[in-house]
Chain A
Amino acid sequence: MVRVKVKIIDTDQEWLVEVENGARIRDVLEKLDLNPEEYIVSRNGEVVAEDEEVGEDDLIILYPVVSGG
């Protein structure tokens, strides 16, 4: 199992998520019932595609896409 931390930027929303080895960021989001269409993902400070695999202790920061104009 791999454990990652997920945060939504500028909010208090924060989770610790456990996923299978080899899981991708989209699997992590799915566990949290978040749609990858609606977030830009940065992993350990770097913008990545949501099909990227996650590693132990990764810090994932989500930038919501759905804020207005």
Chain B
Amino acid sequence: MVNCSFCGRKAVYVSKALGRAYCKKHFLEYFDKKVRRTIRKYKMFSEKETIIVAVSGGKDSLALLHYLVKLSKRVPGWTIKALLVDEGIKGYRETTIKDFLRVAEELSVEYRIVRFRDELGYSLDEIIEIGRRKKLPYHPCSYCGVFRRYLLNKAAREMGGTVIATAHNLDDVIQTYLMNIVKNSWEKIVRLGPVSGTAGHPRFIRKVKPFYEILEKESALYAVLNNLYPRFVECPYAQQSIRWHLRKYINKLEEMYPGTKYSMLRSLLRIIQLLEDKTNKIIEGEIRSCHICGEPASHDLCRACTYRLELEIMDENGNIIKNMDTGALGNQLSI
């Protein structure tokens, strides 16, 4: 039997990197301490906040919602609301929405669901099909990421949010770090910190990552131990991505050399620090307002509007263009 390093009871988790084993009670205590330390260290929240938790229905965001709702009971000035962006991925999102609704009800937390179809006129599945037909060079995850971020910021603002909390964990962050090293995208690496720049734009809501130092496995275990673990469904687009491969390799490395992940996170924080003076000015100075929609943009148009023009699902005045041919998908929907 593997015993807890603190009380000798049966362990549910062993961290080889830290050389410790944890029973359920001591794991939850470790988890709570770690997240609270992250929140404090990076000054994520002030005493009065309306925190919008970005949820997908996956285990990480359910864990974050559960965690912050519990923590908010100790902070009178906090209001927690949940926001789910439904991209419209057939056979995937329907399931995760059900899991989200179950947890949201149990926690009696106020929530809003925003749909690609309502906001953009098309679901992600349709957008990907349109992009394919037009031979646009973007990966499904690019459309998804750009439009999600766009709608998240917009809807959070409409909900009165003062800060958006996302469930990105240590694994997510270091995967993105490696991806951007490969792509030589240092301006993106600089933005990978635990708190997004305050970017002096009136429409920009600050984003924070309370699980920045939490391993994906720890967040999953928190979900399992709190009966939050959702039905397991994987995004159908996930296996096509570089991220999926990187994740496999990093997990192999971590298994062979415990502590690799923490070490990579330290490497990221160090490079952000080293680049800070140089890049902060550039990034902050670049923030403008999109000519079409008025949302924050780093050029004349925001990424979401650029994509929509290229896909021809929106005209230059910002009106949705209906009836784009989505081939078989369109036929299926009209039956």
Contact = CB atoms under 8 A, between A and B. Distances in A.
B2 A52 contact: yes
Contact of A68 (B11, B235, B248, B254): B235
A66 B216 contact: yes
Chain A interface size, under 10 / 10 to 19 / 20 to 34 / 35 or more? 20 to 34
Given A47-B24, A52-B1, A10 B231 contact: yes
A68 B221 CA distance: 14
Nearest to B14: A49
Contacts of A51: 2, 14
A37 B224 contact: no
B13 A49 contact: yes
Overall SS of chain A's interface: loop
Contact of B224 (A38, A49, A63): A63
B216 A63 contact: no
Interface stretch (B42-50, B57-65, B190-198, B301-309): B57-65
A69 B93 CA distance: 12
Interface string B244-276: 000110011011000000000000000000000
B300 to A, nearest CB: 31
Interface in A1-40: 8-11, 35-38, 40
Contact of A40 (B58, B60, B217, B231): B217
A40 to B, nearest CB: 5
Given A51-B2, A51-B14, A69-B167, A36 B255 contact: yes
A45 B217 CA distance: 19
Contacts of B14: 49-51
Interface residue range, chain B: 35 or more
B262 to A, nearest CB: 13
Interface string A43-69: 000011111110000000001111111
Identify which of A35, A40, A49, A68 gathers the most chain B CB atoms within 10 Å of its CB.
A68
B60 A69 contact: yes
B33 interface: no
B24 A67 contact: no
A48 B229 contact: no
A47 B21 CA distance: 13
List 8 tightest A-B contacts by C-beta distance, closest first.
Answer: A69-B56, A10-B232, A37-B251, A65-B220, A69-B58, A49-B11, A49-B2, A49-B14
10 contacts: A10-B231, A10-B233, A47-B225, A49-B2, A51-B14, A64-B220, A66-B216, A67-B59, A68-B234, A69-B167
